[in-house]
Structure 1
Amino acid sequence: MIDTTIAKLNKLKKSFLGKKIAIIGDLMLDSYFWGKVSRISPEAPVPIVAIDDEFYRFGGAANVALNIKTLGGFPIPVGVIGDDNDGKLLRNLFKESTITDIGILVDKTRPTTTKSRVIANNQHVVRIDKEKVNSIPPIIEKKIINLLKKEIKNIDAIILEDYNKGVLTSTLIDEVINLANNNNKIVTVDPKFNNFFSYKNVTVFKPNRKETEDALGIRLGAKEDISNAGKILLDKLNAKFILITLGEDGIALFEKNKTEKRIPTKARKVADVSGAGDTVISTLTMALCAGADIYDATYLANFAGGLVCQEVGIVPINLDYLFDSVKEELL
């Protein structure tokens, strides 16, 4: 449990407000189509879904930006959309949520990354993905770097949110990390497989169990396996901290020349794990910017991830809800 008092929690919560965080990565649109099935198509043996409702939500790095917003911060999402209707829908979502779109660039050669889910009779029927995962061109890389150079003095941290959709190229990763380190800015990373070992010299590197297994080619079964994996990542990446998220087994925290720490997950009724990783990286980054040490920041992030897992669908964490819930734990 977090070693603190109600007064310290209130001070920490207040320090969340107004933190400016750049989120660089793969912006996505999540589309949902709800309806009913009453017959099979005469054209093929597939159900006909009569749509009753459709709505749109933030996905990928865009959902991280939303979490920063609901935690009291000022997010600057930085990424690429297509010159298409889905891109317009994503911009509208940012506008409705009063999130700036100054970091959103248009690439006419690719579509807006969109995941459309068709749900009928309360069952997930099919998911349709619209995407191109090739790397963004150098001209877009340069625009992102120039934008970041203009904002770097005013931001508190950078989150690199990689879904392997092409925005975070090895060149961009190197330039962003160097720029951040030269300006003493916090850099946290939510990695995926392709660029896994490109994220050197960051503040926090936060893979999950599967991502770590895939990258290292090992199975993280026993506690010793996880400990060895953490040590390997510290050595390879030279990160200040390595956090391996382990689902129901909590989080393993590693720091050079210090004893590994484990932050357990409080037992909860899990409804949906979707978006939990976005919530963890958002809360962790905000807490570090607010002055929390790595252990307390990890505890809060793990707690926040557990709270959103109780909700159905991708739901961002709310600042008041998070701190009120933590206070209940302390009383």
Structure 2
Amino acid sequence: MKLPSFDKARVLVVGDVMLDRYWFGDVTRISPEAPVPVLKVSKVEERPGGAANVARNITSLGAHCTLLSVVGVDEAGDCLQRLLTEQGGVEAMLHRDDSISTIVKLRAIARHQQLLRIDFETPPSHEVLNAKLADFHAKLPFADVVILSDYGKGGLAHIAEMIKAARSAGKPVLVDPKGDDYARYQGATLLTPNRSEFRDVAGSWKNEDELTAKAQKLRAELKLEALLVTRSEEGMSLFREQDVLHEPTHAREVFDVSGAGDTVIATLAVMLASGAGMADAVRIANRAAGVVVGKLGTAVVSREEILEDMGS
């Protein structure tokens, strides 16, 4: 297939943003204070995470992205705003909530191995979430596709209303779900749970037929057009009323799977916003995921990397 042009695609992303901080260094000794390794930090990196990583993947592909989210009135929030503007060209509308701290995930890494992750987070206030909802209604007419990126951090309290408004406006809604209650995602166009997330909701399965039955039952219950289950080394499976499409993993070295789901939903949205059909969107998203798992940490994929992968 020929890759469509992405430069006119416009995607609206709403969800939980976070700042991913990486402390890189070496471990050469154990602490005398406790039986733990001592990491001597030699480099610090900061990257947009969560829904901000989804947004960055969209602009990396060459499409346009508006991001709506909530951060604290703090240094991490300032850093996130700056990174999105400088690195990605994302139109980042980050509401500031002085009652919370910006979500930060701090990872300590030695020789490409993660030693420890420390999370800082508090849910946003209702007043700020209401202001974000008003922005959503204002920005909706200018979007081709909507992504709701749920990391379970409280930023999508109005998700049912957002889905209803977007679908009423004729906009496809793609949801990256969290938790075990999917009722709030009812009426979305597409849900993209990973294998373990789907198992938490639908229960385990013994074979492909059982998986298909469970997926189609959930898809029908939630009134979805499609359900995409990303299955790690088993590829990804798209369940629609009329068919099931399975895309196998493209064999390559897996370096880091963190953020791969962000790349998948971003690529799906850009493909659909560019006029591609659902099946082609899934095939290209699968290739994009195969590229990004070869990178360390939350990372992005470019259109050129996908073209290169298609030619290999």
With normalisation by structure 2, the TM-score equals 0.94
* Structure 1 counterpart of 2:148, from 146, 155, 160: 160
Which structure 2 residues correspond to residues 250-289 of structure 1 after superposition, within 5 A? 250-256=235-241, 258-289=242-273
Q: Secondary structure at the match of 2:146?
A: strand
Q: Structure 1's 100 and 68: CA in aligned 2 closer, same or farther, altered over 3 A? A: closer
| Displacement after TM superposition at 1:194 (Å) | 4.8
Q: Secondary structure at the match of 2:85?
A: helix
Q: For residue 97 of structure 1, what is the amino acid of its counterpart?
A: Q
Alignment match, 2:305? 321
Which structure 2 residues correspond to residues 152-301 of structure 1 after superposition, within 5 A? 152-169=140-157, 172-216=158-202, 218-256=203-241, 258-301=242-285
| Displacement after TM superposition at 1:122 (Å) | 4.6
User: Which one is further off, 293-302 or 193-202?
Assistant: 193-202
Gaps of 5+ in 2: none
Gaps of 5+ in 1: none
Task: Note if contact 1:22-1:75 (Cα within 8 Å) is conserved in structure 2.
Answer: yes
- How far, CA to CA, are the matches of 1:42 and 1:265 in structure 2? 45
Q: Secondary structure at the match of 1:278?
A: helix
Aligned residues: CA RMSD? 1.7
- How far, CA to CA, are the matches of 1:138 and 1:48 in structure 2? 41
Q: For residue 55 of structure 1, what is the amino acid of its counterpart?
A: E
Task: Note if contact 2:84-2:92 (Cα within 8 Å) is conserved in structure 1.
Answer: no
- How far, CA to CA, are the matches of 2:296 and 2:188 in structure 1? 33
- How far, CA to CA, are the matches of 1:220 and 1:79 in structure 2? 36
Task: Note if contact 1:273-1:309 (Cα within 8 Å) is conserved in structure 2.
Answer: yes
| Displacement after TM superposition at 1:214 (Å) | 0.5
Alignment match, 1:118? 108
Deviation string for 1:48-71 (max 9, x for gaps)?
332211110111111000000101
Task: Note if contact 1:212-1:229 (Cα within 8 Å) is conserved in structure 2.
Answer: no
Q: Structure 1's 225 and 62: CA in aligned 2 closer, same or farther, altered over 3 A? A: same
Deviation string for 1:190-231 (max 9, x for gaps)?
101154221011111111111111012x11341122101211
- How far, CA to CA, are the matches of 2:32 and 2:248 in structure 1? 53
Q: For residue 221 of structure 2, what is the amino acid of its counterpart?
A: K
- How far, CA to CA, are the matches of 2:136 and 2:220 in structure 1? 28
User: Which one is further off, 86-95 or 24-33?
Assistant: 86-95
- How far, CA to CA, are the matches of 2:16 and 2:23 in structure 1? 23
With normalisation by structure 1, the TM-score equals 0.89
* Structure 2 counterpart of 1:33, from 12, 23, 36: 23
| Displacement after TM superposition at 1:267 (Å) | 1.8
| Displacement after TM superposition at 1:80 (Å) | 1.0
- How far, CA to CA, are the matches of 1:190 and 1:70 in structure 2? 19
| Overall identity of the aligned pairs, in % | 35
Q: Secondary structure at the match of 2:13?
A: strand
Which structure 2 residues correspond to residues 3-14 of structure 1 after superposition, within 5 A? 4=1, 9-10=2-3, 12=4, 14=5
Which structure 2 residues correspond to residues 50-129 of structure 1 after superposition, within 5 A? 50-129=40-119
Task: Note if contact 1:84-1:111 (Cα within 8 Å) is conserved in structure 2.
Answer: yes
Deviation string for 1:29-61 (max 9, x for gaps)?
110112233444444333333221111011111
Which structure 2 residues correspond to residues 139-150 of structure 1 after superposition, within 5 A? 139-150=127-138
Task: Note if contact 1:158-1:188 (Cα within 8 Å) is conserved in structure 2.
Answer: yes
Q: Structure 1's 37 and 245: CA in aligned 2 closer, same or farther, altered over 3 A? A: closer
Q: Structure 1's 153 and 261: CA in aligned 2 closer, same or farther, altered over 3 A? A: same
* Structure 2 counterpart of 1:306, from 281, 290, 301: 290
Q: Secondary structure at the match of 1:292?
A: coil
Task: Note if contact 2:146-2:171 (Cα within 8 Å) is conserved in structure 1.
Answer: yes
| Displacement after TM superposition at 1:141 (Å) | 2.4
| Displacement after TM superposition at 1:288 (Å) | 0.8
Task: Note if contact 2:227-2:239 (Cα within 8 Å) is conserved in structure 1.
Answer: yes
Q: Secondary structure at the match of 1:105?
A: strand
